[in-house]
Structure 1
């Protein structure tokens, strides 16, 4: 049996999909559905039980987790990079994660935690997932800081030798429609392109980069969950681990890939970067992924064009009010 926290969310529901693909139905989904549309992500999924996040946390606090568990994939957290309530982040992204990690370790259960590439801050210290780099990082927002705090707690408590804390880069793909401003650009612009509107990208305020030529490590959600499943199967591989494509691509590349997937010529417009981002905008991110080869992980990643084509053609273009629900 596996527990997937955040199991109705973007990466969480994709993880449930992956487990189902591997013939695994004994899954406990933990989330906070409230009045969101996330429940659509679970309609086609097979799982044993659903627990509200607060109920699950109380079970952890009282040490009443009576299931026989093989692994916990902890993806449940506040994922908003603009969240300003730091106390909320501390409770949900730090203390909750620490508690769950302790309970997993007490039972000898495989524990995989979602950290974030937001911990890398402005990127000036590079994107190595080594502990030497991790100890020096200074995130730019409270969300990234909350993720960094858990990683540093795991380091101090000597947990990193027994758990995998994974740093996701720019993830895109099915089941993200509910994420509001945190959706990928692909999800945000698809409907506009269908209406004949252009993709609009930031003008550059850095002379080293042209308009739309800043770089991101875009990684397809299916590749992410393939790696997570591989980590479940290889409990000997632990530490802080990047999950990205390992190949930085430009926003212009992304825009062209979306138009190509829709069999349309690209139409791109550039607008002035907001004052609040000038001088703070990140122009390059690229995950160092050397751990894959070192660990013998044979997961094959989609190229940007392949991932976007699968996402757009097989999910976004379906005539369904919840376009991505069918993953």
Structure 2
């Protein structure tokens, strides 16, 4: 599909970053700081996005011109498997409440952040946007994927019925500063960084990785994704979704070896083939985004170095030894980035 730019002027606009305390939301806020716009946020203890009436009331009272919808309940394979109802119902509620309230309030533009798990498990690689709804989802994260599909379709439906300028973007696997470094419930890169760091500190002989290590994944540094999202906000208007990716994938084995280098781990890496490892490959086609004029520039290794540096600077040794994040994940059923 040929794509054309549709300029949107951000100057003087009030932009609500929904999910501003999450990894992606905070990166979006950092990126928007260089634009001539007003960033507005609201904390989770002030507004629960899962509750419809409070969201509608807040939207009417604050009247944002733009909504960047990055709020979601997120987590890795284990969290998705443990808490399917929460991953489905919470994300459906957050999306529906914000999208509907934005339409009713006359928001000029909304950007909905989806996920690459919306695509079929065995989609042709690299995955282009037309693969949506052409096959079965990966079972280990299908509940999250179904919710995100619904969010994209809701944006398209409001565009078709009401003329709302709502767009949807599909990032690859995100990582970077602000991520959730828990060995059990987080995504693969923060989980690896935490586990290999701990193994380095304790001088462990072996680190065990789930699966065979052959599954391949694409990873996108979060600040690059935020830049791409603001680029789309300013230049894209269509009911067609757009992938955001790095254009490069690696095997889980290769990722583990990279993380071992970054964390100076010198022990063995073993692979537990009795554990699930998700889809065999997930690499997004970025042709549509490239046609618009945006490309990834950061290597995976540089992104890992920056993320590990942030991790070391942000968590003192005491927090690491106490098992930072694990208890809060168990109490809160995964990670809710709704503020």
Q: TM-score range with shorter-chain normalisation?
A: 0.7 to 0.9
Q: Which residue of 2 aligns with 1:164?
A: 167
For the residues of structure 1 that align with 2:82 and 2:156, how far apart are their CA atoms?
25
What's the CA shift string for 1:112-132, capped at 9, x where partnerless?
A: 1121111124233555342x4
Q: What is residue 65 of structure 2 aligned with on the other side?
A: 70
Matches within 5 A, 1:30-109: 30-32=42-44, 51-54=46-49, 57-62=52-57, 65-80=60-75, 81-82=80-81, 84-86=83-85, 88-89=86-87, 91-106=89-104, 107-109=106-108
Task: Mark the CA change 1:121 to 1:193 in structure 2 (over 3 Å): closer, same or farther.
Answer: farther
Can you give the 5+ residue segments of structure 1 that lack an aligned partner in the other structure? 34-50, 205-211
Between stretches 176-185 and 239-248, larger displacement belongs to 176-185
The verdict on how the C-alpha distance between 1:260 and 1:150 changes in structure 2, with shifts beyond 3 A counting, is: same
Residue 102 (structure 1) shift: 3.3
* Residue 309 of structure 1, aligned match among 305, 308, 320: 305
Q: Compared with structure 1, are the counterparts of its residues 102 and 126 closer, same or farther at alpha carbon in structure 2 (3 Å cutoff)?
A: farther
Aligned to 2:273: 273
Q: What corresponds to 1:201 in structure 2? A: 209
Q: In the aligned structure 2, how far is the partner of 1:62 from the partner of 1:318?
A: 39
* Cα RMSD (Å): 3.2
Q: Counterparts of 1:1-327 in structure 2 under 5 Å?
A: 1-20=14-33, 22=34, 26-32=38-44, 51-54=46-49, 57-62=52-57, 65-80=60-75, 81-82=80-81, 84-86=83-85, 88-89=86-87, 91-106=89-104, 107-126=106-125, 128-130=127-129, 132-139=130-137, 140=139, 141-159=142-160, 162-177=165-180, 181-183=185-187, 184-189=190-195, 190-197=197-204, 198-204=206-212, 212-236=213-237, 239-262=240-263, 264=264, 266-274=266-274, 277=276, 281-297=278-294, 299-312=295-308, 314-318=309-313, 320-321=315-316
**Alpha carbons 2:49, 2:93 under 8 Å: kept:** no
1:57–1:19 CA distance, 2 compared to 1 (3 A):
farther
Q: Is the 8 A contact 2:159 2:239 kept in 1?
A: no
In the alignment of these two chains, the number of paired residues is: 291
- Which residue in 2 is equivalent to 1:209? none
* Contact map agreement 2:173 2:220 (CA 8 A) in 1: yes
**Counterpart residue number, 1:47:** none
CA-CA distance at 1:244 after TM superposition: 2.1
With normalisation by structure 2, the TM-score equals 0.73
Give the Cα–Cα distance (whole angstroms) in 2 for the partners of residues 55 and 316 of structure 1. 30
Contact kept in structure 2, 1:82 and 1:143, CA below 8 Å = no
Question: Secondary structure of the residue that 1:181 maps to in structure 2?
Answer: coil
> Matches of 2:48 and 2:149 in 1, distance apart?
22
**Secondary structure, counterpart of 2:273 in structure 1:** coil
Higher relative contact order (CA 8 A, sep 6+): 2
Closer/same/farther in 2, CA of residues 154 and 135 from structure 1, 3 Å limit: farther
Q: Give the conservation status (yes or no) of the 8 Å contact 1:112–1:164.
A: yes
SS at match of 1:154: helix
Please give the secondary structure, in 2, of the residue aligned with 1:4: strand
**1:317 Cα shift?**
3.0
